[in-house]
Structure 1
Amino acid sequence: MQGIADYEFIRPLGESNYGTNYLANAPARLGIEADEVVVKVIAGPTSDDAFRRATRELKHFSVADSDRLVAVYDAGRHGGAFYYAMEYLPLGSLAKPNVSLDPGRAVAAVRDAALAAHALHERGIAHRDIKPDNILIADDGGRLSDLGLSQLLSPGMVMTGLGQIGLEFTDPSIMLGSAASRASDVWSLGACLHYALTGRGVYGDLRSTEPLLLVRSILASQPTLAPDLPPAAAELISACLATDVTARPRTAAEVAERASGIATGLGAGV
């Protein structure tokens, strides 16, 4: 299989919010212990816009400075395409784990995603797309990935381009035009915590995959929690999903702290 620059591709890993991800052999010059990395390649007719998004994503990765975010190792241009290399987590994601994932370990992954989100928030950045696909499983917990939709927490900035966002894990207020915020990412963390414990979203089975129909279905519904959640988890998830943002946990760090207690209660060893 072909590669880019001195990265030899092993296999494609699929599309992200923009660009294509590949599993690749790690060049020795990176000086890392891992043999493999993920390389995101941005090319094609929309590459100018994608390049701007990629540089913004890389900047947000760097300024957050959190070990709970996926590590970025390298970036460059080659043959008209832009690429960057990042940490490969072979255990998969919360949505598609490659290992048996007990509830405690799944909650620990959400806990670490909350820590990463807090690091972003402290630098004035909203992730905007926290969902099970973007919470990766690690030996020591989890990592938050894909900052392709992240943006500065600036007044007046609203959500655009709903095509690839995880709608059922998105605060409904965002779909109604509210700006992304700490509180909207906290909503997403609550929905992911529900998924971690039940394998289901808070809207049940959503039949359509067409974005506008999904938005209509979600806005006409109310989140419903599974009845068999542990009490501490039900309390935290309910708080995260509160319509009144002042009733939600004030920070993602608070979500992480409470999720850590839930994970410990479930016997998580990470």
Structure 2
Amino acid sequence: MKKVGRYELLDPIGYGGMAVVYLARQLDLDRRVALKELRVFQAPDDPALAERFLREARMAGSMSHPNIVTVHEYFKHEGTPYIAMEYLERGSLRPWVGQMTVAQTAGVLEGLLAALDHAERYGVVHRDLKPENLLVTDQGQIKVADFGIAKARTMNTNSFLTAVGTTVGTPTYMAPEQAMAQELGPYTDLYSVGVMAYEMFVGRAPFGETETPMAIILRHVNEQIAPAHTVSPTIDRELSDWIDKLLIKAPSQRMQSAEQAWDELEPIVLRLLGSRWRREARLVTTTEQPAARPLTPAPFTATEHETPVPVAPSDDFDSFAWDPAVDQAPDPQPAAAQPPP
């Protein structure tokens, strides 16, 4: 078997435009890892390119959070950068899209927004959020992958180009300002969250009928996305309005932080599902959900910017440990709709 540093390659488990991902065994610790080979950053005419990428990736990928995939090591082997990270056997969220309950979708969004809230503290914008970069844990939660390929926005806010000269990101989930190589921020990732939320609730992504990547990008830049409730009338109107706020074209008018996005979504979830919604939120493969194991609330961290006070916040919002007393509380009364920011 091929060896790369202290890793033995077992099987390829993923392919993309920038990388190949292998299931590998770390020989010194005898554990399985996901090893990402980033050949796109190997440039014979620029030997320092790989080193520059690794330096930037270490900064963006050094974050530790329950909803972020753990990175074990960044290294270079024969001029090619590699990232060794925890291996999550259940794979990505992609097979679940369009198949989840409202509670499960809310659990995915809570974990995703908690991860982005943590990244904001480091000035990191992911730039390529999509279901393929959300991995499912054995416990039925999600973790965000590939923060290490993101670039700290304190380094260069104008654009992030790969070695082959293309803007990082996936057209279906790309914010207008990213497509136009303008300044990026947390609001850029929130547009991608809005696209994913739309896809999870409606069953298809906006502009899903459009075939070519460039045409999709142009539509994101120029065309308004039909509100989710007009495409799927069963979607709650307030929930649809929340998605609309994430999909506003102008970054300055969009929600500005992940914490704000969750503050506005949480009371909607409580109104629709009640305080015990996390009991049904795990991504499980069986039809029965263990009543004693609700989804653990995702941890959010206080940020410097002001955020709206939610109408009906859960008492366990700031705790990563589930409090049984909270789960025994009566369901709250319907919450009033939040005014737009």
Same fold by TM-score greater than 0.5 = yes
Compared with structure 1, are the counterparts of its residues 177 and 105 closer, same or farther at alpha carbon in structure 2 (3 Å cutoff)? same
Following superposition, the deviation at residue 262 of structure 1 comes to: 5.6
Distance 1:213 1:201 in 2: 14
Cα deviation code 1:178-217 (max 9, x no counterpart): 21112111111111111222331122322114xx343234
Distance 1:84 1:245 in 2: 32
Q: Bigger CA drift: 174-183 or 39-48?
A: 39-48
Distance 2:11 2:20 in 1: 11
1:216 and 2:212 matched: no
The residue number in structure 2 matching 1:177 is 181
The alignment covers a number of residue pairs equal to 262
Compared with structure 1, are the counterparts of its residues 260 and 115 closer, same or farther at alpha carbon in structure 2 (3 Å cutoff)? same
Structure possessing the higher radius of gyration over alpha carbons: 2
Structure with the largest fraction of strand = 1
One-letter code aligned to 1:239: K
Cα deviation code 1:118-175 (max 9, x no counterpart): 2111111211111222122222521111131333146752354446621121111222
Distance 1:258 1:3 in 2: 48
Q: Give the one of 234, 240, 251 matched to 2:240.
A: 234
Task: Please give the secondary structure, in 1, of the residue aligned with 2:136.
Answer: strand
One-letter code aligned to 2:189: D
Distance 1:194 1:40 in 2: 29
The residue number in structure 1 matching 2:151 is 150
One-letter code aligned to 2:170: G
Following superposition, the deviation at residue 5 of structure 1 comes to: 2.2
Task: Please give the secondary structure, in 2, of the residue aligned with 1:29.
Answer: coil
The residue number in structure 1 matching 2:299 is none
Would you say the 8 A contact 2:8–2:24 is kept in 1?
Answer: yes
The residue number in structure 2 matching 1:53 is 53
The residue number in structure 1 matching 2:257 is 251
Segments of 5+ residues of structure 2 without an aligned counterpart are: 282-293, 296-341
One-letter code aligned to 1:40: K
Would you say the 8 A contact 1:132–1:195 is kept in 2?
Answer: no
The residue number in structure 2 matching 1:36 is 32
Distance 2:263 2:88 in 1: 24
Question: Identity across aligned pairs (percent)?
Answer: 20
The residue number in structure 1 matching 2:12 is 12
Segments of 5+ residues of structure 1 without an aligned counterpart are: none
The residue number in structure 2 matching 1:77 is 76
Structure 1 moving runs of 4+ over 6 Å: none
Distance 1:91 1:178 in 2: 36
One-letter code aligned to 2:150: L
Following superposition, the deviation at residue 104 of structure 1 comes to: 2.7
One-letter code aligned to 1:224: A
1:89 and 2:88 matched: yes
Task: Please give the secondary structure, in 2, of the residue aligned with 1:76.
Answer: strand
One-letter code aligned to 2:135: L
- The normalised TM-score by structure 1 is 0.82
- The normalised TM-score by structure 2 is 0.66
The residue number in structure 1 matching 2:131 is 132
Distance 2:3 2:145 in 1: 22
- Bigger relative contact order, structure 1 or 2 (CA pairs below 8 A, ≥6 apart): 1
Distance 1:199 1:59 in 2: 36
One-letter code aligned to 1:252: A
Compared with structure 1, are the counterparts of its residues 52 and 20 closer, same or farther at alpha carbon in structure 2 (3 Å cutoff)? farther
